Each structure stands twice: as structure tokens, then as C-alpha cells.
A and B are shown apart, each in its own frame.
Chain A
Amino acid sequence: MALEDLCHFRDIFQEDITTERFSMPFELKEAGLSFTNNRNLLHFYIPEVEYLDESPIQFGQINLMQSASAISSQESPSAFPLPTNLPFTSSQTVPLPFPMAHGTTTLAFMFQGGVLAAADTRSSCSGLVACPASQKILPIHSHLVGTTSGTSADCMLWKRILARELRLYQLRHSRRLSTRGAAKLLSHMLHPFKGTELCVAATLCGWDGGELEDECHDHEESAGTTKTQKPDLGMTVGPSQGSSFTPQDSSRKARLSGPRLFYVCSDGTRLEGMLFSVGSGSPYAYSILDQGVRWGLTVEEATSVAREAVYRATHRDAYSGNFVDVFHITSKGWTRRKREDLKEEYYREKERQRLERKTQHDILRANTSSRHKPS
């Protein structure tokens, strides 16, 4: 695989096996489970378990210094290139209330006009902002977009790998893999790394199309704008099409096509849903989304709800901030809204509040003065 040739990971791993554990390679070869033959398409470097027992980076835990010193004492016998200069968190004495997994705010939801994905742009690294203008929503192909949360490098790499695999699938089978299939593929690719430090929490937002793509799109649009609650996709397209397809056939195809939203996490979770928010700012975003998102929103309303949710999350969460990106996925593909600075949004809101208070004050003063006028 190109990745292994580039990084030479496999060579280092094999050497370690032969020097440290004598029985292991024999067992592996006997069982036929040597890492070369295991998965032809995807063989990756899988680290030893002992290395994983002591995590060198305990984010926010109190016994950070103890674990670090323990690891440095074990360094000499091990042949692994353990990182010596670890970025320790500045707040070592304060334990976090819950595991602060991903310092970001990303959200995505489905509505009648497709799928909307929004995210902030702050990349943080142990208490400082590493990049205020990073991109957390990465397009994978023309009709699939993924929001990323967790380790930026892991997310970017795995999105590229997913894009490659989806493109290969498209070339081999002359059709795009569905969003559900892409989610399952990503989940199974991440499974060997469960228990390691790999941290990827992505929502895949896509529009599945079929041969009936154009006709579905027309019916979806006309049906979507008139209905205010979630339509049964099987019913909108089926009977009105007629022609060469049986009603069952076309309704099945209609169910298979349309907007889709999946949440995939490196711990193995894979969920389908209508609304997801991921990251440290997600509780704040959820509060705005749970009250504002309905199936019948227009594109403008949905965009404003998404922007508001990200803005509120960045206002309170220290690990989210700077800008907001909004992507909209329809049957025609994804479109991207211009990146917006939330600092300006904050000042605009302050200005609005000031004007409101001023007008209220004026009205109050006008009322009291009119009452005092002689009748």
C-alpha cells in the first residue's frame, strides 16, 4: 500500500516482533493470520497492547506527571519511538467533569431542502489555539460531505482514505456508494484501531441518488415545499411516475435516494439520524437545534438556525470559536457558504441589544411623559 511504503511502518513493526517476542511470529504464521495476508486491501500498522496500557497523554487528569515519569523509565528496553516531548496540558490540577474528547463544535441535520452541516474553525492544542481558521467540514465527493471532530490529522487522513475507497467503488461498480455504505466502510476501516489513540468522530452528510436522480429531485422539491411535516419518501415519488417502473420498484428507489445523515466514531459507534452535533460545544448547540430544527424549514431558516447554534456554542465553549462554515447538500451536490467571522456576529448582537434597550427606554419615557400631560 502506498501509505506503508511512504511511512515504512511495517518494517519497524516486524523487527520489533522478532526481537522481543520469540513465539509470536511462529504462532501468527501457523494460524495464517500474519499481518501481510490479513486484509489485502487494508493492512495497517497495529500497535502492541502494552504500549496502550499507559497513555502518554492523559488529557486533564491529575496524575499526569506520574504517568509521564513511568513511561520515560520504561523507555530503554522498548524499541518503539515513544514521543519524549509531550504537550502537557496547562491545567494539571483541575480534573474535567467529563472526558473532554473533541475540542470543537460541529453539527448536521436533515430537513426538506437536503442536509445542512455547520462547524466552527478553531483548532486547539493543549490550551492554546493552534489554528483559528481550520476547515472542519471536508467534502468527500460531489454528494458527500463529512464533518470532522477529534484529532485533526486523523480526521483529514481518514477522510482522504474514505474518498479514495469511494472513488474506487464508483469506478468498479459504475455507481456511487450510498451514504449508509460509506458510513459502514469507514466504521469497519476504523475498527482495527479501537483502543488506540486514534480519535475520529465524523458525521457523513450525503445525498444518495439513483438512476431516477433527476425525477426524484423534481418530486422531492415540489413535495418538500408544500409539506410541513416529514414526508414518507416512499409515497412522494411512487404512484405519480408510472411509465416503465412498477410502483413498488420506484418507491423502493425513492426510499434509497434522498438525504442521509450518519454519525461514525472511532470507538465503533455508527448511528443514522436526523440531527447530530459532535464535540465539546455540542451540548450548547443541541439546545439551539432541539428547539429550532423542523422538517419544514426553508434553506435560509435552516442556515440561520445552524449559524445561531454554532455561535452560541462558540460563545460559551472555550475550545470552539473564530469562524463558522456552513455546507448545504442537495441532490445537485454540495454548496458552501462564505466563511463568517463570529466576532462580528457578537458585535452585531451587542448592537442589536443596545438598540432594543434604547427603543424600550424611549417608549417607557414617552408613556410616562404622556401620562403626566394635563388631560
Chain B
Amino acid sequence: MNGLCSDPVEEFNCNKAFSDLIVENKKTAAIFMHEKSRKEAEDKIRLPTLEAAYTSILRDLGEDTDRQGLLRTPLRAARAMQFLTKGYHETIDDILNNAIFDEDHDEMVIVKDIDMFSLCEHHLVPFFGKVHIGYIPNKKVVGLSKLARIVEIFSRRLQVQERLTKQIAVGISEALQPKGVAVVIEAAHMCMVMRGVQKMNSRTVTSTMLGIYLEDPKTREEFLTLSQTT
């Protein structure tokens, strides 16, 4: 696992050592990467149920569902919630298939400050922040916006920040087989800011380092320096 393998087969395995991590999560990864747990066409069919649920919520909160401002709120809220969880429609395969290019580049590529909006799966309250992604290509580079699209797929779901970070990293690894992937997310959780402990300025930072970023501290340091500078 330390990149000093001399045997070419072993070297191949060494370079792909981080795939062990993928294998562990293969089951969960498969669900999120190659299967759609929700079909886009089903959204319309499910809308009335969601609407009814929201109407019941409004009533239980003591509001009057017939007042002008709330008349169409169940519909709007249901549609909004479907939009905020539209990541369930999409898989990596859909968006990446045509944007992987053979390029003789093996230096770090970083896309940083990708705005991310997600929903806390514990409280159904938003959390949002920035994602910084870095990877070292192994003869295959990906269209830059596709990194942001991968973030969108996984963030527009009911999420936990740790899992989100890992899914993005593993998604990129599976698609590109690069030498290494690094993902850092810094987010503010409304469930901590608006309720509960109510700490306005707290931020949660999670990171996932795969491949050469995990093994080589210098590479990791380069990524962290470059992604943190404004």
C-alpha cells in the first residue's frame, strides 16, 4: 500500500489499494450509484400523498390551512421537497458517460468552493456549505462541471455529512480510477443553528482522502493548502 511495489501487477494493485474501501461500502455504494431509488415519472404520482401529509402538518402546527398565504403551500412544499431530494433520480452513470477524456495529465486538479445544499436526514432541515474536490488523474480526466454534478446528485438527498463526503469521493474514484481523490466539505447545519444548541457560527468540516492523498502527506498538504486559499 505504500507505492514502492516493484512488481507491475502488485503496483497495479497498490495503486488501486483504496478500492478496498470501495468494496466495504460496495453494497451501500451500489444502491446510490447505479440504482435509482426513485423514478422521475413517479414524482407526479406521489405528489397528492405528499400534499396531504403537508396539509396535515400545517393543521397540527395550529395554522389555518384556508388562509390566503397557506392555500397552496402543501403543493409548493411537496414540490420543494421533491426538488431538494432529486438526487434520488440520478446516478453517476447518467451524467458522466460522455465526459471522461483521455488526457496525459497527472498533476492535481482541484475544483473548489462548490456550493452544496443538502437535507439533514435526522431533522429534515437544510445544511449547506462548500465542497472542495481534488483528484490526481491517471490518464483520464473528467469534465469539470461533472464534479459539481456529482456533488449535486449526492447532496440532493437526505444525508449525513460524513456519508455525503465519502459518496462523492467514492463516486469519483469508481468513475475515473484516478491515483487519488480528496473531498473536503465545510457546512453549516441549520439543525444546530436554528434549533437545539443554536450555535450560529458553528461549521462542520469533513474530509475523505483516497489513494495517494491518503498515503502521501505531502500531496494531501498541497491539496489542503490550495483549496483553503481564497
A and B interact physically: no
Binding site for A on B (CB under 8 A): none
